[in-house]
Amino acid sequence: MTSRRTLLKGALAVPLAPVAARSPALEALSLPAPTGPYPVGLRTVHLTDPARADPWVGGAREVMLTVLYPAAGVRGCPRATQLTPAEARKFAELAPRIHPGLPSEGTVDWGAVRTHGRIGAPPLPGRRPVLLYSPGGGDCRALGSSLAEDLASHGRTVVLVDHPGDASQVELPTGLRTTVLMGPPDPATFRTMIDTRVADLRLVLDRLPRLLPEASGIGIYGHSAGGTAAVYAAVRASRVKAVANLEGYLDVAAVPDTGRPLLLFRTDGFSAGADRIDSSWRGVPGERAVLRDANHWAFTDYAALVPHLAATGLVTAEARAALVGSGDPTCTIAAVRRRLDRFFARHLP
């Protein structure tokens, strides 16, 4: 049992079960390879904040991280699965409830999806920018793997942050936590979620000097509620030099003009939240971009996974459009990667 007094704990052994021969009833999925010149290493980290109570279950707040980085070499280092075996079993149950339209339990082998991160690979020497990522509400950090791997393959360290309690599922040393969200949160729950995420991100920022002493500059990006949290976490964090908000609302509080580069990136298909995006982004200074023929979850690994499931008949055309849009997934993924890479290359060289 992990001590609640532990402040920083790194776990290099991500559970990685061999991919067994699958039943014909289970659909296998894969993620697109990163495009940068460097292979990608991976490790996981467990943080505990004994000074802060978890708002969902009580006790000291715990956070799980995946650290992706350019590797000096990956020989003999296995590729990590996107989800641990326990997470994959729970995600198969929760997925169609969190995102209606995803396949029912027993049709997709979520545990067989592998990332391109190599467990325990030696990092490339030298200093480099560090990016923190906060996922959307109800999503786990692993669903941001593809974009993060691509950013890391271009010479950055990327830290995926899980937020236990609203993440669909996250395996902690103390056990498996599942989401409290089963549908859009009410205003009070949303505020608690954002406040908790902001505190989680600031915890990671505080620990970065010990966790990643090679950091030459820090940026934050996030999707949906993670984009909201990214903007507010950076408000009083002078160390953060650039922020990218991928379709997150900004109506929790006023967003001051800090002079810090801010990317406001949205899709053209998110009709359910368009009015709130319009009103909450109005007057916020920043670089703006629109992802065409796309919908809200096109900023995540669903951009690759959902079109494949639709092509095999496990997701309807309507559900695909509601989740990621109807655009060519290759073009969508490339557009998101290119925009984020160029934004952070300009402001965190």
Q: What is the 3-state secondary structure (H, E, C) of 156-178?
A: CEEEEECCCCCCCEEEECCEEEE
Q: Is 179 within 8 Å of 98 (Cβ atoms)? A: yes
Nearest to 276 by CA among 187, 172, 149, 176: 187
What pLDDT, on the 0 to 100 scale, is given for residue 184?
A: 83
User: Under DSSP, is residue 53 helix (H, G, I), strand (E, B) or coil?
Assistant: strand
- H or E stretch at 207: helix 187-211
Q: What's the mean pLDDT in 289-308? A: 98
Helix (H, G, I), strand (E, B) or coil at 201: helix
181 pLDDT above the threshold of 60: yes
Tell me how far apart the alpha carbons of residues 28 and 3 are, in angstroms, rounded to a whole number: 38
Which segments of the chain are extended strands (E)? Answer: 8-11, 40-53, 60-70, 79-81, 114-119, 128-134, 157-161, 169-172, 175-178, 215-223, 240-246, 262-267, 287-291
* Average predicted confidence (pLDDT) for the chain: 91
* Confidence check: pLDDT of 144 > 70: yes
Please determine, for residue 2, whether its predicted confidence score (pLDDT) is greater than 50.
Answer: no
Instruction: Report whether pLDDT(12) > 70.
Output: no
Structure tokens at 182: 């089963």
Nearest to 318 by CA among 266, 269, 277, 265: 269
User: Tell me, what amino acid is at 98?
Assistant: I
- What's residue 183's pLDDT? 76
Amino acid at 308: H
**Cβ atoms within 10 Å, residue 307:** 23
130 and 212 Cβ atoms separated by less than 8 Å: yes
The mean pLDDT of 44-49, rounded to a whole number, is: 97
Per DSSP, 102 falls in state: B
Q: What is the tens place of the pLDDT at every residue in 57-102? A: 999 999 999 999 999 999 999 999 999 999 999 999 999 999 999 9
